[in-house]
């Protein structure tokens, strides 16, 4: 009996091998392959590009970011009472939410101006016993608070906490350029004019940590490679973009770290050579050069600085659109330009397999892991199947390639893709729940979806 069972098993082996062989042939021969090319077209995309002021009534179609700065005096005119209504109205926050745009925020305590004024609240000025310096220098007039003052530190943490609770819950605030300290929130003061120097690292940490706690989902950036930026994995911003000497000096600090002249700390700055691979570069164009110089006379030089710095966004001092060639050239060289170079449909055991090759020809990654979805629609546009694609877009660095596979239940899509069925890719903004990212490739882009077939 045992021998009989053995003979039956042995006799079945060739049949099994034949079935496997046939199945392998069936799986391997049916393919629908498409190759795509990058597009030379210039367009805006989420979380990159130009960031004009949020109070602008009209913005260009290519704008997806708006810049908003808030002074402490504006935020909290009375202790514990916040001017949310005024801030939201002036900066049109409800409008930008509806339009699916995002905000770059900077909180400032000292903006030099033409008239004597103060950018911290009057009540705080009194609680601090007037600790700080009134100044009238070449670049303007104002009041530089004593950032070492314990009242200043404690109430700053409360103000930032309130900002986070009110504005940091829905993804609208995507980038925060850490202001708080120094003229224009740029972490420097004119100490040669008798203004107190910035506080030492231990005190600066209290200002930084308040932001980390209040906005856990926003990406934070600092003006220079302070040790805190390295510790928390932050991005950096350069408000002198376009200025060769200033930008080169900024890049040398990023490469080497070293002494912080504002405080005389020998290791106040930390080398952050590859920070841009995981956190963005922001800033704005320098006001020391004309737009003609930046966008026309020295355009190739500006582009080189942009790409060398791996810039993702610039604002609020952005390119003047009247210099159309310069405006578009800069936009095309900022941020990511993600595209699909190849897509292959093939048979699978119970359906269809889709293999996608992703590339990035931009100057920087896309820094958020927004979900990527595959849609199969019929001729009438009805979605008959959708699957999330297992790809982490933030890992796609410039010049690199990654591949992802997705398995569909629809079997007959292989021959009917592009005919009775349309296959598309949508990258969803969690704030809106809508697809909104355009891939930098030839083909059709409609309603936030990139058509493959």
- Give the E-state strand segments of 178-287 in sequence order: 219-222, 235-241, 258-260, 265-269, 281-285
Residues 196 and 80 in one domain: yes
- Is residue 316 domain-resident? yes
**Domain span including residue 401:** 29-40+337-451
Q: Do 120 and 262 belong to one domain?
A: yes
Same domain, 292 and 423: no
Asked whether the CA dihedral 176, 178, 180, 186 is positive or negative, the reply is: negative
- C-beta of residue 182 within 8 angstroms of C-beta of residue 188: yes
Q: Are residues 220 and 353 in the same domain?
A: no
- Residue 274 shares a structural domain with residue 344: no
Question: Is 210 found in the same domain as 92?
Answer: yes
Q: Is residue 105 part of a domain?
A: yes
362 lies in some domain: yes
**Coil, strand or helix: which one is 220?**
strand
Which of 297, 332, 367 terminates a domain? The answer is 332
84, 67 Cβ separation under 8 angstroms = no
Residue 372 belongs to domain with CATH number: 2.60.40
Model pLDDT, residue 36: 97
Residue 20 belongs to some domain of the structure: no
Contacts of residue 49, Cβ cutoff 8 Å, sequence gap at least 6: 62, 63, 64, 65, 313, 314, 331, 334, 335
Among 88, 110, 99, 221, which Cα is nearest to 167's? Answer: 88
Please report whether residue 365 resides in a domain. Answer: yes
pLDDT of res. 5: 35
Structural domain total, the chain = 2
Residue 10 lies in a domain: no
**Does 54 lie in the same domain as 134?**
yes
Identify whether residues 426 and 297 lie together within a single domain.
no
For residues 294 and 350, state if they share a domain: no
| Domain-located, residue 378 | yes
What string of DSSP letters covers 364-381? S---S---EEEEEE-TT-
**All residues at 6 or more sequence positions from 296 whose CB lies less than 8 Å from its CB, including other chains:** 323, 325, 326
pLDDT for position 339: 98
Kindly give, in sequence order, each residue whose CB lies less than 8 Å from that of residue 354, ignoring residues fewer than 6 positions away: 343, 344, 345, 374, 405, 406, 407, 408, 423
Domain-ending residue, one of 313, 332, 351: 332
SS3 212: helix
Q: Which residue has the tokens 């930084």?
A: 208
pLDDT, tens digit only, all 453 positions of the chain:
343 333 333 333 343 433 344 344 344 457 899 999 999 999 999 999 999 999 999 999 999 999 999 999 999 999 999 999 999 999 999 999 999 999 999 999 999 999 999 999 999 999 999 999 999 999 999 999 999 999 999 999 999 999 999 999 999 999 999 999 999 999 999 999 999 999 999 999 999 999 999 999 999 999 999 999 999 999 999 999 999 999 999 999 999 999 999 999 999 999 999 999 999 999 999 999 999 999 999 999 999 999 999 999 999 999 999 999 999 999 999 999 999 999 999 988 888 999 999 999 999 999 999 999 999 999 888 999 999 999 999 999 999 999 999 999 887 888 888 888 999 999 999 999 999 999 999 999 999 999 999
Q: Do 295 and 149 share a domain, yes or no?
A: yes
Which two three-digit tokens encode residue 12? 């079945």
* CATH number assigned to the domain comprising residue 272: 3.20.20
Tell me whether residue 295 is in a domain.
Answer: yes
pTM for the complete prediction? 0.90
Distance CA 169, CA 165 (A): 7
> Is 263 found in the same domain as 124?
yes
Show which of 298, 332, 366 is a domain's final residue. Answer: 332
Question: Do 343 and 397 share a structural domain?
Answer: yes
C-alpha distance from residue 288 to each of 281, 324, 330 (Å): 20, 21, 18
């Amino acid at each position: 009996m045992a021998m009989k069972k053995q003979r039956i098993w042995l006799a079945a082996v060739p049949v099994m091998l034949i079935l496997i062989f046939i199945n392998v042939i069936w799986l391997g021969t049916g393919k629908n392959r498409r190759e795509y090319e990058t597009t030379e077209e210039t367009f805006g995309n989420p979380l990159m590009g130009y960031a004009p002021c949020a109070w602008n009534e009209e913005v260009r179609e290519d704008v997806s970011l708006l810049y908003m700065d808030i002074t402490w005096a504006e935020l909290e005119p009375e202790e514990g009472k916040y001017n949310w209504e005024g801030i939201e109205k002036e900066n049109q926050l409800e409008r930008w939410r509806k339009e699916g745009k995002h905000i770059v925020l900077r909180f400032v305590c000292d903006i030099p101006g033409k008239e004597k004024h103060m950018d911290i609240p009057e009540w705080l000025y009194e609680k601090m016993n007037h600790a700080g310096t009134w100044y009238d220098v070449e670049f303007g007039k104002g009041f530089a608070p004593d950032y070492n003052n314990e009242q200043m530190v404690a109430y700053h943490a409360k103000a930032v906490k309130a900002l986070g609770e009110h504005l940091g819950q829905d993804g609208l605030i995507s980038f925060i350029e850490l202001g708080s300290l120094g003229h224009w929130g740029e972490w420097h003061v004119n100490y040669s004019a008798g203004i107190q120097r910035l506080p030492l690292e231990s005190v600066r940490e209290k200002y930084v940590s308040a932001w980390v706690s209040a906005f856990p989902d926003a990406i934070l950036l600092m003006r220079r490679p302070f040790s805190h930026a390295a510790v928390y994995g932050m991005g950096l911003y350069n408000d002198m973009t376009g200025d060769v000497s200033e930008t080169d000096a900024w890049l040398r600090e990023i490469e080497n770290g070293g002494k912080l002249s504002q405080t005389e700390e020998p290791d106040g700055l930390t080398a952050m050579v590859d920070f841009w691979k995981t956190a963005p570069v922001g800033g704005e164009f320098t006001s020391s050069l004309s737009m003609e110089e930046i966008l026309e006379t020295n355009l190739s030089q500006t582009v080189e600085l942009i790409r060398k710095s791996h810039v993702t966004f610039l604002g609020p001092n952005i390119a003047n659109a009247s210099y159309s060639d310069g405006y578009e050239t800069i936009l095309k060289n900022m941020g990511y330009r993600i595209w699909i170079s190849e897509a292959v449909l093939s048979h699978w055991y119970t359906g269809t397999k889709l293999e996608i090759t992703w590339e990035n020809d931009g100057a920087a990654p896309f820094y958020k892991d927004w979900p990527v979805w595959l849609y199969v629609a019929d001729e009438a546009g009805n979605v008959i199947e959708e699957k999330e694609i297992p790809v982490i877009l933030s890992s796609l660095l410039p010049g690199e390639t990654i591949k992802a596979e997705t398995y569909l239940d629809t079997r007959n899509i292989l021959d009917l893709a592009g005919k009775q069925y349309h296959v598309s890719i949508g990258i969803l903004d969690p704030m809106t729940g809508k697809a909104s990212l355009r891939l930098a490739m030839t083909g059709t882009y409609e309603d936030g979806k990139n058509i493959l077939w």
